Amino acid sequence: MLNAKDIKGFYAILPTPAKSNASRIDAVDTVDLNETERMVNALIEDGASGIIGLGTTGECATLSRPDYEAFVGCVTETVGRRIPVFLGTTALGAHEVASRMKFIRDCRADGTLLGPPMWQPLTTQSAVDFYRGMSECFSDVAIMIYANARAFRYTFPLEFWKEIARSAPTVVSAKLSRPKDLVELVTATEGRINIMPNEMTVQNFYALSPDTTTAFWATAAGMGPAALRELMNALNARNEDLIAQIAADIAWANEPVKPIFANPDIFAQTNIQVEKTRINAAGYCNAGPIRPPYDDLSEEYREASSACGKRWATLQAKYAKPVLA
């Protein structure tokens, strides 16, 4: 099983490609498996170090169980153990999570992206018990904690991380964006949990804790991963000038959607819509229509998201050839 030191490089967050009927509320068989296979192979060929699927951008919450299983099967078969694969198993209750965990394990996924059950906010004791229980029941499946405080209505305090590092040995990483106290968090987990930022915050992580910043995740990978590959190479080489250059290019590409990302309320309501719109506009893969009910997006935000995707397409072209020898 993977451990914290095995989590290296950039992890591409997958959309779940949708067929043209997916926007209908009564749709079935909505996953475009041909596009899924093509997209996964393209990401691997273009340098992705790992795959994360079935989180928010992957529309885990809106997939039917048959569509969920079809996507899991396609992704794991396509990857064929070439790079690590973490697939979301988050659900409303622990029994359904366990059922999904068993399914991804049987499909030979390396790990799961797992947030707390979402119906009722958890206490720290119940959150710890949940992850400890999953670790005990699925000792061969690595867990990446989906630490989105707003989505799961749980703040993931320092005492939670201390207890998880002590009592849930299969928790090997955490998907975060902006932890308040990164150094304290790294210290509290004693190297047992790889704290992963996204591509927009990895430069800040690196400045605070260069030795532990070995990986990052990116929903932007669906728009083309070339700049992300080169950013990871620059981090590995500790080339701070190149890190700053690529980070500035990424900030430029994301500029049209910066007001959306900066407003937690707006972002929470438009996360899926913005991601799929900008991915489709970039042209690297076809994410297809958005599955209901999270498909409302104003024309203003749609235009901003499309502009972001088009800027990312220019980054894909700019960084197509490796920058570092």
**DSSP letters of 280-315?**
HHH-SS---SPPTTS----HHHHHHHHHHHHHHHHH
pLDDT above 90 for 300: yes
Secondary structure (DSSP) of 133-153: HHHHH-TTSEEEEE--HHHHT
Backbone angles phi, psi at 267, to 5 degrees: -60, -40
Q: Percentage of the chain surpassing pLDDT 90?
A: 95
More confident residue, 182 or 70: 70
pLDDT at 325: 63
101-112: per-residue pLDDT in tens?
999 999 999 999
Query: Residue 325 falls within a domain, yes or no?
Result: no
Could you tell me which residues come within 8 angstroms of residue 259 by beta carbon, excluding any fewer than 6 positions away? 266, 304
Segment 57-71 shows an average pLDDT of: 97
Which residues make beta-bridge pairs with 87?
Answer: 53
Element (H, E) at 79: helix 65-79
The torsion angle over the Cα atoms of residues 7, 10, 13 and 19, rounded to 10 degrees, is -120
pLDDT above 90 for 79: yes
pLDDT at 323: 84
Which residue is it, tokens 């990052």?
216
Bond preceding residue 293 cis, omega within 30 of 0: yes
pLDDT at 137: 98
223-234: per-residue pLDDT in tens?
999 999 999 999
pLDDT above 80 for 180: no
pLDDT above 90 for 178: no
How far does Cα 255 stand from its chain's mean position?
20
Query: Residue 235 falls within a domain, yes or no?
Result: yes
Where do runs of H (alpha helix) occur along 80-148?
A: 94-106, 124-137
pLDDT at 52: 98
* Separation between Cα atoms, residue 278 and residue 201, nearest integer Å: 19
Query: Residue 237 falls within a domain, yes or no?
Result: yes
Q: CA 325 → CA 184, 188, 190, 225, distances in Å?
A: 35, 37, 34, 18
Which residue is it, tokens 């906010």?
121
* Separation between Cα atoms, residue 10 and residue 225, nearest integer Å: 9
Task: Count structural domains, the chain.
Answer: 1
Query: Residue 300 falls within a domain, yes or no?
Result: yes
How far does Cα 31 stand from its chain's mean position?
19
For 80, other C-beta atoms within 10 Å of its C-beta total 12
Query: Residue 90 falls within a domain, yes or no?
Result: yes
pLDDT above 80 for 41: yes
pLDDT above 90 for 155: yes
Query: Residue 226 falls within a domain, yes or no?
Result: yes
Segment 87-93 shows an average pLDDT of: 97
Query: Residue 19 falls within a domain, yes or no?
Result: yes
Which residue is it, tokens 């078969």?
77
pLDDT at 177: 80
More confident residue, 161 or 177: 161
pLDDT at 214: 96
pLDDT at 179: 66
State which residues form the domain around 94: 4-318
pLDDT at 144: 98
Query: Residue 324 falls within a domain, yes or no?
Result: no
The CATH code of the domain that includes 166 is 3.20.20.70
